[in-house]
Amino acid sequence: MFLILALISVGIAILFWLLDRVTLSPKGRYVLITGCDTGFGNALAKSLDRQGCNVFATCLTPNGAKTLEECTSDRLHVIMMDVLKSESIKEAFEEVQKKLPQGSGLWGLVNNAGVTGNVGYYDWWTRDDFRRILEVNLLGVIEVTNVFLPLVKKVKGRIVNMSSGIALAPCSAGGYAISKVGIETYSDCLRLQLHHFQTSVHIIEPSFFQTDGMQRKKAFDDPLERAWSRMSKEQQDAYGRSCIDEFKQLYGEISKTADTRIHLVTDSIEHALFAKYPWKRYPVGGLIRFVARPGGLLPSFIGDFLRYNFVPFPKPHRGQIRREDTNATREQQNVNGTREGLDCGLENIRRDTKSD
């Protein structure tokens, strides 16, 4: 009996493995990818171009657009687009419409454009700091999807949204984690809504990968220094300068050890676009697949306990501040005592002089 169950299990596993590798041809299909200046979007655009796919690659900077055009074929069309500007998104839509053959639509829409967020404690950041992250990573995705959705529906295509493994176990990622949790919920709701139009939605959840967004100074050090400089004296005393330095050190180590195999992410996006039976979610990286996602199923009190004790999250150094304040107070008291002693000594000398 056990042998029969084992054979059935192995057979099912092999069947799923085979079905997972059934793919559609990318040749002749049209895919739009946002955020192609660098990173995942840039690598994906080049890969799809090599496979014969027609790519609309949106870039934010002229330099990024020029660099991409120089190393790709005429199947790839670079379009300037800023996801923060509604007018720019509409202009990009009109340009895509003009370049699409009559009766065609977009087989794929890959919402990849995004920015890294401010790390650390939430009360370090202002409303404007949160606004920029949410407008790019969440509201930008929603608006781009709404504008291009008719072209995706037209051919019953696929939407691929870039989330992050940090959405599964948010800790110190500031507004970035909030925006990516929003992407998860938005994508789940959108998938249910588009089911009636036979249009699918897929989520990519990468771990830490070495991209331009992981550049330590630009992404982490500079914002942390800016946060420290505008803190009130009360906030600085509550957290301590060493807390800022520990965050910089932590994310410096993360930047150094981030995975350089960007193809793992682009391969997942390609599977979402062209697999016959694509997944709803793609956790990319062992940390996400075997730690963060299973950890998200734990009761909150257990998950919190593990994060408090095993996640390297810098803590406020209030004790250190208090010790420093105490030492400073003692030193000041000693100085005051010395001054009082000198004053008394001088007063005694004056009295003795007058007596003489």
List CB contacts of 348: < 8 A, sequence separation 6 or more.
none
Residues 6+ apart with CB under 8 A from 198: 156
Q: Is 176 a catalytic residue?
A: yes
Tokens standing for 92?
């990009």
Catalytic residue among 30, 121, 122, 176: 176
Give the tokens for residue 198: 């036979």
22 C-beta neighbours (distance < 10 Å), count: 10
Q: How far is CA 316 from CA 128, 224, 241, 305, 328, in A?
A: 24, 14, 9, 18, 20
Q: Which long-range contacts (CB under 8 A, 24 or more apart) does 54-59 make?
A: 54/28, 54/29, 54/30, 55/30, 55/31, 56/30, 56/31, 56/32, 56/96, 56/99, 56/106, 57/32, 57/33, 58/32, 58/33, 58/34, 58/92, 58/113
Contact (CB, 8 A) for 152 and 105: yes
Which H helix or E strand runs over 304? Answer: helix 300-310
Residue type, 313: F
Residues annotated as part of the active site: 176
